[in-house]
Chain A
Amino acid sequence: MNFIKRIITFQPSWTLRIITGMVSVVAFISMCLITGVLDISGAMAERDHEFTGRNIEAGAKYYFDQCARCHGGKGEGVDGLGPALSYDGFLGKWDPAKNTLGQSARLKAIGWTSSLKGYIEAVTAAGMPIKSSPIWENPHPPFALAYGGPLRDDQIKNIATFVVNWGPGQVAPVATQPEGGAGPQPTAAPLTAQQEKGKQVFLGAAGCQACHAIRGVAAGAVGPTMNKLATTAEARIKDAAYKGTAKNALEYIRESIVNPNVFVVAECPTGACIANVMPATFGTSLQPDDLNALIDYLGSLK
């Protein structure tokens, strides 16, 4: 009680007032000076570094949301959908001594004289003219809100920062086309009547084209592409992680359509593959004839 009374009746003496007052003023001024000196001698630059890092993180998130389906999780490109980004033909060769990117062959070829980042931002925002790249059937859609896309300007800037950040860690392009990432047209052999019927099922009744791409046929970007599916299927069966019962490519394709959760591949362009994305209902919703035709058609893609 006495203690409380001493607190509430407290009156600082003159000496105490002068000392605490002066100490406080000195503390305030020194804190300001210290902050100022730290700010101009590196603290601001360090925060700039941090926020650039965080912008790249945000860019990665938007890239995997919006771009990876067509450009690949490593920027390696997806056959039939989108060209590679993370190779020196596009980014320019990384110079470890100077810590910079060299001249981009792609930008030189199309006569883009401004910066690489500017090009990425411009194409992401507004799309690009289809004839600038004759091997791709699908135009690059506009992504900026201003042009009818889903992304704000800051998101597009973050994506460009993320893509350029591949500089030091470029992966080789998956194919040898000038832009990289594009293989030759799949299967030149003419389709049989049965396979032609399967193609119509792919495009029509089954609705596969909404999610899957086949070069020159469909450009769905939700599931994996079906180019060279027969070849891919052979490889999957031999995969050590494979848990299904298929013995050959056609069986594997059937299993993947009828019972897609039996074996989910580990890596998708957008990150770890997730089960249950592919509906498990096609085994019952498709007529047996249609299903057989579809499998026949997909099996012809080598």
Chain B
Amino acid sequence: MAIIGKRLVDQVRSTGLKATVAQRLDDGFTRLTSGLSWNDVRGVLRGDPPGKPNNRVKPHTEAFWFHIRPTFYHEAVTTLYPTFRLGYMSALFFAIEIITGIFLMIFYTPSPERAYQNMLDILTNVPFGQLMRDMHRLGAEVMVVVVTIHMWRTFLTASYKKPRQFTWFTGVILLIVTMFLSFSGYLLPWDQLALWAVTIGTSMADAAPLVGPQVNLLLRGAPDIGAGGLLRFYLFHVVLFPLIGVIFVAVHYYKVVRYGISLPPEMEGVGEDSARKVGPDKRVNFMPDILTNELVYAAIAIALLTIASGTFYNAALETHSNPLVTPNHTVAPWYFYWLQGLIKIPHILPVLPEALSTQFDSIMFNVLGITPKILWGIIIGPVIPLLLMVVPYIDPNPSRRYSDRKVMITLGVIFEVAILYLSLAGIPTGVPVTRFGFVGGDPASEIAQEFMPDEGVGKVKRVPWDQLAVGTWQIVPPDEAPNAPEFNHLLRELQQDMDHRTREADPNGKKLSGGTANVRVKLIQPDVKEFTLTISFTDDKGQPQQYSKTNYLHRNSGYEKE
């Protein structure tokens, strides 16, 4: 202590107080950056050329965060193409998820009694709570997209080929981790969306041969998702998957540093890998060029994410989960639509004529005990990521050039189209033209579902509360309520929908016949209205039937904002 004090005093005596403070601060700064002084960093940010010797290399050997980045790149990979910075963006979103996730963790308890109330508290009692939740949710969705496009890009430029096979392999694991991270987070708000999306997801595991029920029990902690399942998914979400993610990001990054970023295919000879053989004239130093670019991209991404979350994007929070009530048309998260679509494939060999394929199904069931659902959802479904993992090991073509890879690229495009097609089939409306995957109940309940969905905000909830005119209103033909334009619009839309379903049969051949309907609005409390839609129709047997559905609407619920 005395010695340091003496040195300090000596320095102040010889150079003056101001210079000493400046020099000491710069010392500390240089230690933080592992070798760059304040002026060096300023030079980096201004784009000044490096000095000789280049002291900007030092952080790459000394500091953890820079040692996972190369000191220089080939100039051909520093433009937008070929990387589009997608790997970097994936890592960035992973970091954003961790930061916003830690914020949300503070206010969250993984227990069925408390979780939903915690969500309400985050939205109504925690400053920045809604912003953080929206950023976390939107960031997760964007991350799935970015990671998927990153893989797609790597496939197209054949960057998975020797020596980067294992990099690709870890990348597929990271894709799966990303999806499971997002999926496991789905359950945590403990609303209806959460419970049923995850119930569907884990039911897929349940159908797997031999180990299915055991896997399902392990995931859920009980035959149905309850306290045990919520806790397990919480631990998956905040411990297991992030841990696997961090480990594989580290391996993935190491491999990128080790082998460099592959050059655009057309710049290399067949079977050649020249990413690390960069002549001095082709080098672009990480500092300042790449670093500043990355900082700018990060700043733009974070700003856009924050603005979207703060303005128009609102993460949905539906009603409290209820294991006894399955909302109509429940779906898995969108990135698992393709799995739901796979399960809807009706036959083991859907290309055969109907009669033959039915017969083939029964033979397969009797001999091997597999049904189309087991084959497509449980066997083929998980095989797809495994197939992606082994792509670099089974692709015999040494060339990375587009013109030499027509077969592989065609296969890739077919794969992508198939996934998109199956994803469309996974949602209840099915694929637009072929209507494969369509799911629909009887027309009356479908009309009610369209206007008054079990969960979420439908057209009825969007009508301003004051315009919901008390009384009974006929739909065919639509009555006119005084001074309620949006309510009248709703009645006309109902009439059009009924008319449409009367004229045209749905893909299952169901049609509305003899349909009449009325809407009854009643004030049941000073601020609560009861909205009942009653549809009368004739069923297939010619019997008169009635279907009615009720929504309760409070003046303050603010649905029109969603």
Contact = CB atoms under 8 A, between A and B. Distances in A.
Interface of A: 7-12, 14, 17, 20-21, 23-25, 27-28, 31-32, 34-36, 39-40, 43-54, 56-58, 60-61, 64, 73-74, 152-155, 162, 165-166, 168-169, 271-272, 274-276
A47 B117 contact: no
Interface in B71-111: 78-81
Contacts of B300: 20, 24
B413 interface: no
B295 interface: yes
9 contacts: A20-B296, A34-B310, A47-B558, A48-B124, A49-B558, A56-B527, A57-B551, A165-B525, A165-B528
A152 B320 contact: yes
Contacts of A169: 525-526
Q: Chain A: interface secondary structure? A: helix
Contact of A271 (B124, B302, B550): B550
A12 B296 contact: yes
B79 A10 contact: yes
Nearest to B132: A35
B46 to A, nearest CB: 7
Contact of A60 (B310, B548, B552, B555): B552
Given A9-B79, A272-B532, A53 B554 contact: yes
A35 B79 contact: no
Given A31-B307, A47-B130, A10 B296 contact: no
B303 A274 contact: no
A25 B301 CA distance: 10
A175 to B, nearest CB: 21
B556 A50 contact: yes
B105 to A, nearest CB: 19
Contact of A9 (B81, B128, B130, B131): B81
Contact of B528 (A17, A20, A27, A57): A57
A44 B299 contact: no
B310 to A, nearest CB: 5
B80 A10 contact: yes
A54 B295 contact: no
Given A17-B296, A21-B295, A272-B520, 18 more contacts: A8-B79, A11-B80, A23-B303, A25-B299, A25-B303, A27-B303, A31-B310, A48-B125, A56-B528, A56-B554, A57-B553, A57-B554, A57-B557, A60-B525, A169-B525, A271-B530, A274-B548, A275-B546
Contacts of B123: 44, 47, 51
B288 to A, nearest CB: 9
Nearest to A34: B310
B322 to A, nearest CB: 8
A12 B293 CA distance: 8
Given A7-B80, A39-B130, A275-B546, A21 B553 contact: no
Contact of A32 (B125, B131, B293): B131
A166 B525 contact: yes
Nearest to B131: A35
A52 to B, nearest CB: 7
A58 B557 contact: no
A271 B320 contact: no
A24 B126 CA distance: 25
A182 to B, nearest CB: 23
Nearest to A275: B546
A61 B320 CA distance: 13
Nearest to A25: B299
A74 B524 contact: yes
Interface in B503-544: 520, 524-528, 530, 532, 534
Contacts of B293: 12, 17
Contacts of A47: 123-124, 130, 558
A154 B526 CA distance: 23
Closest 8 CB pairs of A and B: A8-B81, A53-B554, A53-B556, A24-B299, A53-B557, A60-B552, A24-B303, A48-B124
Contacts of B530: 60, 271
Contacts of A153: 113
B327 to A, nearest CB: 13
B84 to A, nearest CB: 8
Interface string B125-151: 111111100000000000000000000
Residue with the greatest number of chain B CB neighbours at <10 A, chosen from A8, A10, A47, A57: A57
Given A58-B320, A168-B526, A169-B525, A32 B556 contact: no
A153 B527 CA distance: 24
B520 to A, nearest CB: 6
A45 B123 CA distance: 10
Nearest to B292: A17
Interface string B219-253: 00000000000000000000000000000000000
Contact of A58 (B46, B292, B319, B527): B319
B160 interface: no
Given A8-B80, A50-B557, A53-B555, A36 B124 contact: no
Contact of B552 (A57, A166, A274): A57
B127 A11 contact: no
Contacts of B414: none
Interface in B22-42: none
A50 B277 CA distance: 62
A44 B116 CA distance: 17
A60 B530 CA distance: 9
A192 to B, nearest CB: 40
B369 interface: no
A72 to B, nearest CB: 11
A32 B306 contact: yes
